[in-house]
Amino acid sequence: MKVVLSGGGTGGHIYPAVAIARQCEEEEPGSKFLYIGGKRGLESKLIPEENIPFESIDITGFQRKISIDNVKTIVRFLKGVQVSKGILTKFKPDVVVGTGGYVCGPVVYAAAKLGIPCMIHEQNAISGLTNSFLSRYVDTVAVSFENTQSSFPKARNVIYTGNPRATTVYSANRNRGFASLGIPMDSSVVLIVGGSRGARAINETMVEMAPLLYTLKHLHFVYVTGDLYFDETRERIRSKLGSMPNHLHVLPYVHNMPEVLAATSLIVNRAGASFLAEINSLGIPSILIPSPNVTNNHQEANARTLEKVGAAQVILEQELTAERLFRLIDKIMGNLELHKAMSQCSSSLGKPESAHLIANEMRRLSRLF
């Protein structure tokens, strides 16, 4: 099978596409891939590192207010469609898959106009602008959250697949996670992370909460600050405590996140859709602090979906304090029945077969060509 993948801007759009590629490689040996992304997007760096052939187009996103830049974006979109048609005609894919972000707009639209079977995947509980636009042209819309299916009334076919990142993480080795952290096997780990680049509000709370952790020495706390905030955050914690306690681990970044997640008992994090799919695949209870700086406030919608079924507790950023976060951590980790119930609820949302479901739909669509 020959597949074109497109999506970008953030890891939340890129890593699901990579997960789809890996699943296709496993189920369809000999499959060939081409990733079409933006010239300036994160995908231009990450995808070549995954050894997936990469082509780029010049495209920007729409402003959600009247702006002269939107006129330029329309011009770039139309040019991007023409460039994409040329790339697609040369590669001759059996199917085209878009995983979100404005870059996949012209790519998937071009595929639809060429009569190539195509599908999009929506990671969030609230559909993005690009996917909402594309939904009327593609053959299939796949969604991560079951209640998002109704968000695409003009789509020909909408299927609930979950997020393919769940498949990637589900089989992660928890013993390697403990070993990479230097923590004894079967310890109770509380992982606090503000996303791949970190989050200032969460880091500020981490600093203020550090002195309170002496009362929870039976737990191992892993703070992931993000590279930008690491030195400052670590030094501020040290100045508050005098020295770093053995049960507190401050890291700039985690390169083997699936393995670390597999070793985690409770996670405190933002509410990006791909990350939520990962923690649900492992049945990890969570305390979610949605980022307020995202389009349509979609992270809060994601978080409320988990909260509604009992898999997570939600603290809005404007309500976040060290004392409140500490009390919630203590409440969940100090109550075995509550922790077990939240874990079961988290697992109920996990779909480790997600990548397989998407690959299966891709095979079905490719037969239409």
Residue ranges for the known binding site for UDP-N-acetyl-alpha-D-glucosamine are 10-12, 124, 196, 299
Cβ–Cβ < 8 Å for 294, 64: no
Cα 346 from Cα 365, distance rounded (Å)? 31
Q: How many residues does the chain have?
A: 369
Q: What's the token pair of residue 129?
A: 């602008």
CA distances from 213 to 104, 209, 331 (A): 45, 7, 13
Q: What's the token pair of residue 269?
A: 């994090």
Binding residues: 10-12, 124, 196, 299
Calculate the CA dihedral of residues 37, 43, 45, 48 and round it to 10 degrees. Answer: -70
3-state secondary structure 276-339: HHHHHHCCCCEEECCCCCCHHHHHHHHHHHHHHHCCEEECCHHHCCHHHHHHHHHHHHCCHHHH
Tell me whether residue 215 is exposed, middle or buried, using C-beta atoms within 10 angstroms of its C-beta: 0 to 12, 13 to 18, 19 or more. exposed
